[in-house]
């Protein structure tokens, strides 16, 4: 019996990737290459020296400089405004799309609907940015209307797939028993949605909204091409500063961005864990 258990244990190890030769070393190498640059960026954001490679002493000098920089303040405000608008509308549209593709009987073209909603995830972002720029340029020429609304619309559109994924996953995992029971009790469809479906769906909606907010806040390519004069978002501002000179002030801004992203992603996984 002992020999049998040992043989089974050995056979299981042979199938487990963790015990394959070189797998552990390769995994640690990938983790190092991925996170070592991020660690160095955060570390040197606390460097008192203006150089980003020469360490002198610990200081919050560059965080204070970034906080007092009027250009950074304006760019951050624009980024947050655009991200909030894009988050609200992309989450609403993603929820509607998720309900339309999961709370209905299978229909002809359902696979095509999934593909259309998720297609922006597969198309290169530069292609989407150029197409959006050309489309908005035509609208501006025909209407003469300009403004930050175009940037908000662009962010809303490309954030929809990111909000759609967790919302749809939540709907597919939800049991229909409660909704059917409400229907049996003569509740109207809107009452069923408001009192049963929406509360159960809320974790997925919150997760989708957070994901959309982070994606919008971090976007560079689409913002760079679509944004007009005076519509500089924080990522575009950082890119412009890097072209001139890299200072620990850029490291400080990037570290704050990193912290925000980590917080939102952590909340996303916490909500997903509770959902499961």
**CA angle at 271 for the pair 266 and 274, rounded to the nearest 5°:** 125
Residues 25 and 80 both lie in one domain: no
Is 63 within a domain?
Answer: no
Predicted local distance difference test score (pLDDT) of residue 187? 84
Element (H, E) at 171: helix 149-173
Instruction: Spell out the residues 6+ positions from residue 100 whose beta carbon is closer than 8 angstroms to its own.
Output: 113
Residues 231 and 215: beta-carbon distance below 8 Å: no
Domain that holds residue 34: 13-44
Strand partners, 58: 47
Is 232 within a domain?
Answer: yes
Predicted local distance difference test score (pLDDT) of residue 251? 86
Predicted local distance difference test score (pLDDT) of residue 4? 45
pTM of the model: 0.79
3-state secondary structure 231-259: CCCHHHHHHHHHHHCCCHHHHHHHHHHHH
Is 81 within a domain?
Answer: yes
Residues 126 and 226: beta-carbon distance below 8 Å: no
Residues 26 and 133 both lie in one domain: no
Is 254 within a domain?
Answer: yes
* Region for 22 from its dihedrals, namely left if φ exceeds 0, alpha if ψ lies in -120 to 50, beta otherwise: left
Strand partners, 47: 58
Q: Which of 44, 60, 83 is the last residue of a domain?
A: 44
Residues 202 and 91: beta-carbon distance below 8 Å: no
Q: Find, among 75, 253, 71, 214, the residue nearest to 148 by Cα.
A: 75
Tokens found for residue 101: 């593709």
Predicted local distance difference test score (pLDDT) of residue 8? 44
Predicted local distance difference test score (pLDDT) of residue 3? 53
Low-confidence ranges of the chain (pLDDT < 70): 1-19, 271-276
Is 6 within a domain?
Answer: no
Residues 30 and 166 both lie in one domain: no
Predicted local distance difference test score (pLDDT) of residue 228? 84
Is 62 within a domain?
Answer: no
Q: Find, among 51, 115, 111, 85, the residue nearest to 251 by Cα.
A: 51
Q: How many domains does the chain have?
A: 2
Residues 203 and 165 both lie in one domain: yes
Is 55 within a domain?
Answer: no
Predicted local distance difference test score (pLDDT) of residue 93? 93
Residues 33 and 163 both lie in one domain: no
């Amino acid at each position: 019996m002992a020999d049998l258990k040992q043989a089974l244990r050995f056979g299981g190890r042979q199938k487990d990737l963790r015990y394959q030769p070189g797998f552990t070393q390769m995994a640690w190498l990938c983790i190092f290459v991925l996170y070592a640059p991020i660690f160095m960026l955060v570390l040197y954001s606390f460097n008192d020296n203006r150089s980003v490679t020469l360490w002198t002493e610990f200081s919050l000098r560059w965080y204070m400089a970034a906080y007092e920089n009027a250009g950074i303040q304006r760019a951050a405000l624009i980024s947050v405004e655009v991200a909030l608008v894009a988050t609200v509308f992309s989450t609403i549209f993603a929820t509607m799309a998720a309900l339309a593709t999961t709370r209905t009987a299978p229909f002809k073209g359902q696979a095509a609907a999934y593909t259309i909603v998720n297609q922006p995830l597969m198309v290169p972002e530069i292609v989407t940015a150029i197409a959006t720029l050309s489309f908005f340029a035509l609208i501006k020429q025909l209407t003469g209307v300009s403004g930050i609304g175009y940037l908000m619309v662009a962010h809303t559109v490309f954030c929809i797939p990111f909000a759609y994924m967790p919302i749809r996953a939540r709907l597919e995992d939800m049991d229909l028993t409660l909704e059917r029971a409400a229907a049996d009790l003569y509740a109207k469809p809107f009452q069923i949605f408001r009192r049963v479906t929406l509360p159960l769906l809320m974790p997925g909606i919150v997760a989708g909204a957070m994901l959309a907010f982070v994606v919008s806040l971090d976007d560079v390519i689409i913002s760079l091409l679509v944004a007009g004069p005076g519509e500089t978002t924080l990522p575009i501002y950082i890119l412009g500063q890097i072209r001139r000179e890299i200072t620990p002030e850029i490291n400080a801004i990037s570290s704050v961005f990193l912290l925000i992203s980590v917080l939102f992603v952590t909340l996303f996984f916490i909500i997903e864990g509770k959902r499961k």
